[in-house]
Every structure is written in structure tokens, then in C-alpha cells.
Amino acid sequence: MRTKYFVFKTKKSEASKAFLIAFLLLGMYHFTQHPILGGLICLVALFFLLTKDGVILDLQNKRYKRARVFGSIAFAPWRTLPELQYVSVFNATMVSSSCSIGGIYVEVKKKIIMINLIYDKNRRLNVYQTLDEAQASENARYIAEKLDLPIYNAISKTWSTHSTELLITG
């Protein structure tokens, strides 16, 4: 059974985790000589290691927050959802790139499925992304049902209501 909240948390890349661990070790090193500076660096690194970026939708009260999320605690104020027109489901490409010390450049592209809430004709609030088509379809239906909105599947260029089956093809 779902709650009135819809929560989406982004995952950290391995590179960002490694950077934060290095930052934590740097803080621990400085802690021996400058306890205040070292402690502050450690606290900042731990905060970003233990929290995730996220979007929380309060579907009952029609509000949202973009937040740093730690477990069930979210660090951000609530904002009222704008006057929404529909839920959009579409394919996108996520690009990750990194460069090694030796100058080797690597770029990785992944196809993902995104769910946006559309308002003011073409403005959007991105609330979810996944690689799993079935999960995207289920979450789009759930959000649309709770907010009483139609769904536009930009992948197949079809409209549906939340009560009908949303098929993602392509």
C-alpha cells in the first residue's frame, strides 16, 4: 500500500562517492592540526555522503520539495504545486563523462525514462527517472491518479487517463 507521498532519490555516482571519501579523509588529516577546520570538512563530507538529492511529492496536499534526503528526513521547505496540466512520460539520454589523470576521456550514455509534471503550457517539474519501463508506467499512473491528471506518453505519442493502461513502447 502506498502512502500519500511519492519519493524519488537520485543515486550517487561512484566518482562522486570517491571524491566525498577523499574529502572526508582530507578533513580527518586536517583535524589533527586544525580541529575546527578538519571537523567542518568532515561534517560537510559526511552530510553529502549520507544524504541524497530527491523530490518528494505530497500528493494529498498538492505540494512538493526538492531536498537533500536522509532516510525519511528531508532538508527543504514545501512548495505548492503549480496548476498542473498533465503527466508526461518520455525517453531521454543521460550522459556521464570523466577524465583520468592520464588524459583518457570516457563518456557513457544511457537511455532513461523520465516522468515530468507539465504546467504553464511547456514548463515541467521532473519528478522521476528510471531505466525500468514497467516501473515508469506504474509510477506515472499512480501520480496521475492521485493528482487527477491525464498522461501523455511522448514515447508512443498517445494520451491516456490514469485509469487506462499506459504502454511504453520504443
Q: What is the pLDDT of residues 2-19, one digit of tens each?
A: 557 888 888 888 888 999
Report the number of distinct structural domains present in the chain: 2
Q: Are residues 36 and 102 in the same domain?
A: no
Residues 24 and 42 in one domain: yes
What are the grid coordinates assigned to 62, written together? 498538492
Flag whether pLDDT at 1 surpasses 50: no
Host domain of residue 33: 1-80
Region 103-109 average pLDDT: 82
What does residue 86 show for φ and ψ, rounded to 5 degrees? -165, 170
Helix (H) or strand (E) holding 122: none
Residues 110 and 141 in one domain: yes
Q: Quote the mean pLDDT of the chain.
A: 86
Cell of 111: 537511455
What digits encode the pLDDT tens for the residues 123-144?
999 999 998 888 888 899 999 9
- Which parts of the chain fold into alpha helices (H)? 14-31, 35-50, 133-147
Highest mean pLDDT among 39-43, 72-76, 98-102: 39-43
Residues 57 and 130 in one domain: no
**What was the pLDDT predicted at 169?**
45
pLDDT top residue among 118 and 154: 118
